[in-house]
């Protein structure tokens, strides 16, 4: 199983600031990496796939980068609705999908 | 907008079988390019993929759960189901039914999630 490790566990930020979240895979996953956002009481929502392609309806302030084992999600200017938990997921081996433990972006 | 509606008991006794069903109204799940799966999320933790099934019945399971899990599909009812046997407290989680892509390039991208069903394993 490919293990996904996210850092930091919690990111304390102010609205308007730039946030960068990291995700590392235990082995190379090419660009088959997705990011999801989860708000309290809701299911995760797809933000990014293919490491850098925004899903339908996702604002341009969200961007993804990386390939192989190191990935990042950047939120260029945090809006109030962006404070949530973010998960990365590899699908390079999609018969054995795996998710990271999450990064919580909280209001400072 | 696709909807996935999970249902099943919220309480299961230890050593018994957890059974959940997901209904997909208004859309035929027979479309071959998609897989239908189950993902669970223990309280305060990240999601964990359990397994997936194609409309033709091909199944894939997480290796550590494979001996206890069965996923089936009933295309006539537009439903797919999950059974986990010999449950313990470690199986307590929010269980989501999901759809993910099944193509070579996009296979594994989860684009639709159900609302989640909280299952507690306790005596």
Residue B14 in this model has a pLDDT that exceeds 70: yes
pLDDT at B24: 93
Q: What tokens appear for B89 in the block?
A: 């407290």
Higher pLDDT, B14 or B104: B14
Mean pLDDT value across residues B56-75: 94
Cα(B71)–Cα(B37) distance, integer angstroms = 8
A48 burial class (0-12, 13-18, 19+ CB within 10 angstroms)? Answer: buried
Rg of chain B (C-alpha set): 14
Verify whether the Cβ–Cβ distance A97 to B111 is below 8 Å. Answer: no
Question: Degrees (nearest 5) of the Cα angle A8, A36, B62?
Answer: 95
Verify whether the Cβ–Cβ distance A44 to B110 is below 8 Å. Answer: yes
Residue B31 in this model has a pLDDT that exceeds 90: no
B83 burial class (0-12, 13-18, 19+ CB within 10 angstroms)? Answer: middle
Q: Summarize pLDDT for B40-62 with one digit per residue, the tens.
A: 999 999 999 999 999 888 999 99
pLDDT at B33: 81
Q: What tokens appear for B22 in the block?
A: 């997901």
Q: Summarize pLDDT for A30-78 with one digit per residue, the tens.
A: 999 999 999 999 999 999 999 999 999 999 999 999 999 999 999 999 9
pLDDT at B105: 85
Q: Which residues of B touch A98 (CB under 8 A)?
A: 49
Please answer whether residues A26 and A75 qualify as being in contact, where contact means their C-beta atoms are separated by less than 8 angstroms.
no
Residue B26 in this model has a pLDDT that exceeds 90: no
The DSSP 8-state label assigned to residue B114 in this structure reads: -
Beta strand spans in chain B (E) = 5-7, 11-12, 18-23, 34-41, 48-54, 59-61, 69-74, 79-84, 93-101, 110-113, 117-121
Nearest to A99 among B46, B100, B109 (CB): B46
Higher pLDDT, A71 or B34: A71
Q: Summarize pLDDT for A13-26 with one digit per residue, the tens.
A: 999 999 999 999 99
């Amino acid at each position: 199983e490919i293990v996904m490790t996210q850092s930091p566990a919690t990111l304390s930020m102010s609205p308007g600031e730039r946030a960068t979240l990291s995700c590392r895979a235990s082995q190379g996953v090419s660009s088959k990496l997705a990011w999801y956002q989860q708000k309290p009481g809701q299911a995760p929502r797809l933000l990014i796939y293919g490491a850098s392609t925004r899903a339908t309806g996702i604002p341009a302030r969200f961007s993804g980068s990386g390939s192989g084992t190191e990935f990042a999600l950047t939120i260029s200017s945090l809006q109030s609705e962006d404070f949530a938990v973010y998960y990365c997921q590899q699908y390079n081996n999609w018969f054995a999908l795996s998710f990271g433990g999450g990064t919580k972006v909280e209001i400072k | 907008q696709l909807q996935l509606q999970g249902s099943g008991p919220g309480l299961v006794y230890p050593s018994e079988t957890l059974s959940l069903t997901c209904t997909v109204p208004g859309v035929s799940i027979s479309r071959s390019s998609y897989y239908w799966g189950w993902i669970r999320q223990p309280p305060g933790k990240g999601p964990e993929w359990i397994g997936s099934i194609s409309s033709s019945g091909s199944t894939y399971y997480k290796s550590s759960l494979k001996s206890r899990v069965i996923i089936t599909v009933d295309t006539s009812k537009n439903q797919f189901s999950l059974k986990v046997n010999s449950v313990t407290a470690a199986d307590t989680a929010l269980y989501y039914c999901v759809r993910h892509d099944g193509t070579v390039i996009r296979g594994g991208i989860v684009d639709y999630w159900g609302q989640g069903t909280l299952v507690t394993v306790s005596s």
